[in-house]
Amino acid sequence: MDARQAAVSYILGYSGIHGSLRHLRDRYPDADRRLLHLMQGLDSAAALVRDGRIVAAAAEERFTGEKGTGDFPVQAIEYCLRTAGITAADLDVVAHSFHYTLDPDIAELDEDAAGQFASLYRPERQRELWRTLVGPMPRRDFVAVPHHVAHAHSALDLSGFDSAVVIVSDGMGETESMTVLRADTDGLRPILTVPASHSLGVLYSLVTHHLGFLPAMDEYKVMGLASFGDPDRFGDVFTDLVRLAPEGGYVIPLLTGEVDRRSQDLHEGALARLVDLFGPARQPGEELTQRHKDIAAGLQRRLEDLVLRTAEWARSTTGEARLCLAGGVALNCTANGRIVDSGLYDDVFVQPAAGDDGAALGAALAVSSRDGNPRVRMTMPYWGNAYRDETLREVAASTEGFVVEEFTDDRALAARVAGELADGKILAWFQGGMEFGPRALGNRSILADPRSSETRDLVNLRIKKREDFRPFAPAAKAESAAKFFEIKPGAEDQYAHMVVLTRTRPEHVAGLGAVTHVDGTTRVQTVRREHNVRFWELLDALEERIGVPVVLNTSFNVQGQPIVRTPQEAVATVRDARLDGLVLGRTYLRPVGVEAAR
């Protein structure tokens, strides 16, 4: 470490609970494997902060290829350290995004709980893993940050707000499933909590399982499916399942009847009750019927109503005009759109890595905030592996089976790519730093013409190999977005991270069929030139070519695969998906002798 590094403070945060999935597999070898995802500690990640600024952040899944892995994020940690040019010995603080404790009386009465705490959750276990898998301990401290505190800081500290309401909602923290906090220059203060035994996130995951999807992974599919259903059909059932409590809270009696350890871990009793209420559970791969769609619609509306009610209560209780959202429920862009459209708050900020990967970032920021670092509004989360154009050019030149075109400036590249998209080509786009979080925001994307619904169907079924009901999102020039989408002028940046739903303006629905959902909604990403020059230039070139500064933008991966990290993975995925081409930096690669997926 040189003298310059000695003058700064490096804080590394990480998330995940190593071995938690294997623990459940060993404990319940006969259980439905999908139920094992109803657990704590998935989506491990690492983030490095230096003097309050983010240096690097990445999810471990991008290195291992295992989606949603909760294993100790060794490779993500190594990436963060390498990016900063430091070693583990140079870290001042390491922060983990969980802080479990065990009541001695419970430990004495419940041997199972005591054993699980000892093997998975105790803070000392994290130190042991660090020493074994990473090495040197940090110079100042190794701390455990309460899970919802980490989530709260992941949003608040990147919002630029001096004061705000922060709502954290997920499956569960240590003992909570929702926490509402009031934030000011003195920090965060909880004003409402809902215990884990009444988790709205867990209920949503259980219904996800009932509908034949993977809980803690496929909730976004249920959100998309809901648009095809009638929310009134099962509306009364969901109203009874989630009952209102005073002061913005709620209770879910369905989740409180689990008495033995297996039922608490797997929620088999609650799932049986869902069968009584809604009929037989759908198995993976079975046909989706109208009943399934109506269940999804009723669940989604109930979640939206409850989230909006909590936001209303927090606004009236605190008087705060700005809102931050974090936790897995904050990835429900439809609910976020309801809050934004309500006009309750002057500004709403949703941290784009709102799930547990983002808790790694929040753990680091929670520690960094103690040093008085100012809250600065983030722009784009391009904090993952980055590659220079020269490196990408070398990869392109050494790749067999492609015709390679090189461009000397972004405008020429954009014009060429826009022409290909206008001609119906479906292309992969690989640029700069990898996005942190689940959304492709213009650096690891698959792109297509936004105009025809036939393009949506092709990308869904033949390239992404996923369900045909799932929508695609558009990216649009920020300065033009309000013309095509129902965005208030001046509020464009609330849509920069593809986490807030809006609607395509009626006069443009027919012309944006590939990126408008069946109910007229869309999850647009607004793009500013100063945030991503090359992507903005492409949108500008598309406006010249097809009349709209919009592109279909979906994540650069296929089913079951994390978003690509390296250019080598990009090439392999293009071959596997039989895409029409790949843009690596300023090079355009067209496959030779391979028929595209049409």
Tell whether the model's pLDDT for residue 339 goes beyond 90: yes
In sequence order, the β-bridge partners of residue 476 are 526, 550
In sequence order, the β-bridge partners of residue 581 are 427
Do the strands 10-14 and 93-96 form a parallel or antiparallel pair, or are they unpaired? parallel
Per-residue pLDDT of 407-456, as tens digits, reads 999 999 999 999 999 999 999 999 999 999 999 999 999 999 999 988 88
* Confidence bin at 108 (pLDDT 50/70/90): low
With a pLDDT cut of 70, the percent of the chain lying above it is 97
CATH class, range 195-350? alpha beta
Tell whether the model's pLDDT for residue 172 goes beyond 70: yes
Per-residue pLDDT of 362-378, as tens digits, reads 999 999 999 888 899 99
Intrachain domains 3-158+359-366 and 195-350 with the same fold: yes
Per-residue pLDDT of 541-563, as tens digits, reads 999 999 999 999 999 998 889 99
Give the mean pLDDT of 146-153: 98
Distances, alpha carbon 169 to alpha carbons 181, 290, 323, 508, in Å: 11, 29, 13, 34
359 exposure class (CB count in 10 Å sphere: 0-12, 13-18, 19+): buried
Over the chain, what is the mean pLDDT? 94
The token duo for 207 is 């219904």
The total number of residues shown for the chain amounts to 598
- Predicted pLDDT of residue 332: 98
* Confidence bin at 107 (pLDDT 50/70/90): low
- Residue recorded with tokens 């129902």: 486
**Are 387 and 567 spatial neighbours (Cβ–Cβ below 8 Å)?**
yes
- Predicted pLDDT of residue 40: 85
Give the mean pLDDT of 79-95: 98
- Predicted pLDDT of residue 598: 52
* Confidence bin at 595 (pLDDT 50/70/90): low
Determine how many CB atoms are found less than 10 A away from the CB of residue 7.
8
Per-residue pLDDT of 254-277, as tens digits, reads 999 777 788 888 999 999 999 999
**Out of 47-61, 149-163, 466-480, least confident range:** 466-480
Domain boundaries of the chain, sorted by first residue: 3-158+359-366, 195-350, 389-591
- Predicted pLDDT of residue 562: 96
- Predicted pLDDT of residue 259: 72
- Assess if CATH 3.30.70.270 describes domain 389-591: no
Architecture of domain 3-158+359-366: 2-Layer Sandwich (3.30)
Q: How far apart are CA 166 and CA 152, in angstroms?
A: 6
- Predicted pLDDT of residue 6: 45
Tell whether the model's pLDDT for residue 504 goes beyond 90: yes
Determine how many CB atoms are found less than 10 A away from the CB of residue 430.
27
- Predicted pLDDT of residue 109: 59
Per-residue pLDDT of 274-326, as tens digits, reads 999 999 999 999 999 999 999 999 999 999 999 999 999 999 999 999 999 99
Give the mean pLDDT of 104-132: 82
* Confidence bin at 84 (pLDDT 50/70/90): very high
- Predicted pLDDT of residue 2: 46
- Predicted pLDDT of residue 282: 98
- Strands (DSSP E) contained in 319-443 are 322-326, 347-350, 402-406, 427-430
For CA atoms 573, 578, 583, 587, the dihedral sign is: positive
Q: How far apart are CA 33 and CA 82, in angstroms?
A: 36
Q: How far apart are CA 579 and CA 591, in angstroms?
A: 8
With a pLDDT cut of 90, the percent of the chain lying above it is 84
- Predicted pLDDT of residue 257: 78
Half-sphere exposure of 383 (CA within 13 A, CB side): 30
**Are 376 and 114 spatial neighbours (Cβ–Cβ below 8 Å)?**
no
- Predicted pLDDT of residue 496: 97
Q: How far apart are CA 191 and CA 318, in angstroms?
A: 9
